[in-house]
Amino acid sequence: MAIWSGGEMGELAQLNHPGRRGSSRARVLAIASGKGGVGKSSIALNLALHLSRRGHRVCLFDADTNLANLNILLGLAPEYTLQALLQGEKGLDEILLEAPEGLRIVPAASGIEEFIELDPEQQRRLLAALQALERQFDYLLVDTAAGIQESTLQLLLAAGGLLLLITPEPTSLTDAFSLLKVLRRYGLDHPVQVVVNMADNRAAAHDSFKRFQTSAARFLQLDVGYLGYVLRDEQMAAAVMQQNPILLSRPEAVASLCLQSIGNRLEQRLEKSVQGGLSDFFGRLQLTDAELDRLHPFVSGREAAVPGPEEETEEPTPPEQPEPPPEPTAEEDEERERRDLMSATYYAGLLGALERNRGR
């Protein structure tokens, strides 16, 4: 289902023209992971706090409507959420949460579907609110849902940059590779920065990234950057349990020092990135039904479109033409992706072994 109509997209195309952008538009960074349980939301929150502490105007958008837990990590109970905005009850400025260090958070509503299937009136409400706020922030960080689902793919393709969180675990690497593979097939062309979380040591983090980087380059022709790593730290889990971000409650902890280092690199790279207003960001969420069908069978649960009577050809297929092979099922494609990553990981391991042997 298209989020924006054709007419509205024509107007938004004018907004998205680089020559018409203002000089102080927010830079947009989507934060994603191939699977849940890798600490994505906690990393997103702490990086947003770091940028705010550095004097930037930062808005953290909770786009994970499945869980909507950014406010929980801060111990905040929002009076209103994104649902109130979409229903016309409140404006965006009224639902913004005030967090420490001047950070602002747009709280999502857990379990709602309106975020990815907006009717025309909801589209206008969201766009008008975002246009009113687009000059209030330097950075918009978007915490997306983990995995490969339609709303997540739309957000990641629309953002100006992507921060991908992985861990050294094979399942995390495999799922992150699968996510990039789908995005790449659909035309992902903006920068991808990788953070390795829950690493036992620096060497393990670097090895995980190099394997992932080599796989992405060889099999996806995609160059991914390295922002850094966060070492496994029990104080991180304690901070989450106490609903007090580790960057604020335990600034001298190992994980905090890692996050500060990553935040400094992120700040430098965001300053060099292309500006794009908040309304531009949501204006690019424009995938049509036909375009979304191109993602099938990569998006689980979505069926391929069936042509209507007016789309069917009257001339039968010549009998000498062979029948086309059946489309692969979602399970078959997922298994092929996993085999690709296993091959890529093996290849990366061989390269690492060769390099070590040459250094002896």
**In b/e form, how buried is each residue of 130-165, taking b as 16+ CB within 10 angstroms?**
bbebbeebbbbbbbbbbbbbbbbbbbbbbbbbbbbb
With respect to residue 343, please indicate whether it lies within any of the assigned structural domains: no
Residue 281 burial (C-beta neighbours within 10 Å; 0-12, 13-18, 19+): buried
Range name among 66-70, 99-103, 188-192, 261-265 with the lowest pLDDT average: 66-70
Specify if 127 maps to a domain. yes
pLDDT at 152: 81
Q: Is the pLDDT of residue 124 over 80?
A: no
Number of domains in the chain: 1
Does residue 128 sit within a domain? yes
In a domain, 12, yes or no: yes
* Residue 108's pLDDT band (cuts 50, 70, 90): confident
Q: Higher model confidence: residue 185 or residue 357?
A: 185
pLDDT at 296 over 50: no
Q: Is residue 59 situated within a structural domain?
A: yes
Task: Check residue 205 and give its pLDDT.
Answer: 96
* Domain annotation covers residue 325: no
Residue 19 has pLDDT above 50, yes or no: no
Phi and psi at residue 302, in whole multiples of 5°? -100, 130
pLDDT of residue 21: 37
Contact 315, 177 (CB under 8 A): no
3-state secondary structure of 234: helix
pLDDT of residue 327: 60
Q: Which residue has the higher pLDDT, 18 or 29?
A: 29
* Per-residue pLDDT reduced to its tens digit, 302-322: 433 333 334 433 443 333 433
Residue 279 has pLDDT above 80, yes or no: no
Angle at 192 between CA 259 and CA 239, to 5 degrees: 25
With respect to residue 156, please indicate whether it lies within any of the assigned structural domains: yes
With beta carbons less than 8 A apart as the criterion, state whether 146 and 34 touch: yes
Q: Which domain holds residue 55?
A: 6-291
Q: In this structure, are strands 97-98 and 104-106 parallel, antiparallel, or unpaired?
A: antiparallel
- The closest alpha carbon to 270, from 73, 92, 100, 54, belongs to 54
Q: What is the pLDDT of residue 127?
A: 72
Q: Which of 25-34, 129-138, 201-210 has the highest mean pLDDT?
A: 201-210
98/287: higher pLDDT: 98
What does the pLDDT average to over 224-240? 96
What confidence category does residue 341 fall into, taking pLDDT thresholds of 50, 70 and 90?
Answer: low
Least confident of 17-26, 34-43, 196-205: 17-26
Are residues 282 and 127 in contact, defined by beta-carbon separation less than 8 angstroms?
A: yes
Query: Residue 115, Cβ neighbours under 10 Å: how many?
Result: 22
Residue 271 binned pLDDT confidence (cut-offs 50, 70, 90): confident
Contact 153, 182 (CB under 8 A): yes
Most confident of 21-30, 49-58, 132-141, 294-303: 49-58
* Mean pLDDT (whole number) for 122-139: 75
CA dist 68 to 19, 119, 226, 299, Å? Answer: 36, 22, 27, 21
- CATH number, residue 150: 3.40.50.300
CB 36 within 8 A of CB 146: yes
**Once rounded to an integer, what is the mean pLDDT over residues 223-250?**
96
Q: What is the mean pLDDT of the chain?
A: 76
CB 2 within 8 A of CB 289: yes
pLDDT of residue 1: 33
Percent of the chain with pLDDT over 90: 42
Answer yes or no: is 330 within a domain.
no
Query: Alpha carbon of 86 to those of 287, 314, 332: distances in Å?
Result: 20, 44, 38
Q: Is the pLDDT of residue 31 over 60?
A: yes
- Report pTM: 0.73
Statement: residue 90 has pLDDT above 50: yes
How many angstroms separate the Cα of 122 from the Cα of each of 28, 77, 80, 125? 22, 24, 16, 5
pLDDT at residue 25, as a whole number: 74
